Structure 1
């Protein structure tokens, strides 16, 4: 609810959370009503082919210049069907009608991937959307996230200077538990993530690597694992809760470069022994990692991150990651 120019405006999202999502508004001279409802939404892209869909959950803001803006949620769909990015926050200008109603975009193509405005609210630093985390500090950067609360001792920046250590836990990526995982949100449909992994070869059943994860039932990873005395570069895909190993390559290396590359409709999983020449191990479709593919039509998108697992027990030794790089 807002009080603007002596009137009380009450605003809410409605129409479900998918393509019929919209923002509606009413107003009254009293905060207790009765409220007059605007007969059409102030924000929606329902029934259009605009690349931004599922619009709603808006907030109104007046800046220092007296200009009005809205922040709201929406998704950028691929082929008008799915998104691996989940819900994102959008900013758009607000105009006022002659009879005193705020308007964002009621199917008028005001909200787009690029919007022209007479002036912006102010100056602020751009968020870091590309770059490398070198793990040289004593704290993790704010752009990185754990999967739930990490188990004590499952990660460290002090065990080896300049490296992130992850000690695999008994829970794996397909389980609801304390998983050794550090990652960041995927913010672009086309991007790539890479890391340098070092893992001792003497411990069996320890696995570590790079993962693209929506939830327990939908995730892909490329990693290094010790199997029956042989170290293997492996790629797994988990779709609808079913995990399959789709590729394996034996190796004797204790240091390996790993990469996940995202394009509009697929992910690629690559490895390198020298950081220069890359080998594609496997690919997988992007759609199974989208909220639209899971039961319940979730809201959050994919996280790309570093992981380790002890496959049913806490690992005796950690895996070490020298850096984590994200290029959009």
Structure 2
């Protein structure tokens, strides 16, 4: 990808790359050398720069610490066999970032700043993109309020940062999930469709209770009746029942507009596979588990790509799903996505941007 925006670069005095154990990557723990930074003040983005990854200095009265005006994104970069860096659908992440910004009363980030900042950062730190099978470079863009003011109002100033971290698989094995019918992730009119920090903070307590009970994640239900499956804690969720892929619609405003979700649905339609974007009720899910008409269930997300679900807890009982054959839809779509991301097969929808 050609770059045109002049961004000053300050390089790190001593790279951590040579001391990094790429064979033992814990997701989100190892951070690359540099970060892209931009500041918003007086109604415009300014101070664009790339500098060494380092701690930030914040005043105790920082607005984000008190009122949670913070949004983020997550995407990945890969290396193909020629050593080129490939980024999967960054334009979709930029659009979703601005949808979150609109909901959270934050400024619009121009596409040029997002794409150029990311591209030049990845070009500088391309040595951090892993080459091992299943590994990638996780890219974390985020924006937060920087006013030093104790008062409930939108901030006048903001900071936008992108940093990266080499990662392995998010889930090393199929996951177990519990249908949540007490706590609520989102309600219509709320911030469920925004990728904002507060949504995740509110989910921590019920997720922790589920983990203590032996489950990896929750299956969130709607906040009004707890009768409809919405999404999982770190991903959208899909079910294959009687040959049809079923996943919650985006129309309620309570579902995160997953980019992997969209990609999976596009591929399913390319293959003429039956798809229904509708709410699956808890009753339908339980009936399908009892009578064996559920063929597979899986999560979709940037971190996990496809996370196979092997056990579902609903209404006090655990159900084990059938083992996944190599021909299962979830395995087929995972192989297709990985093939596109690593540049091994054609990219008919032009999802890949080459750095």
TM score, norm. by length of structure 1: 0.30
More helix by share: 2
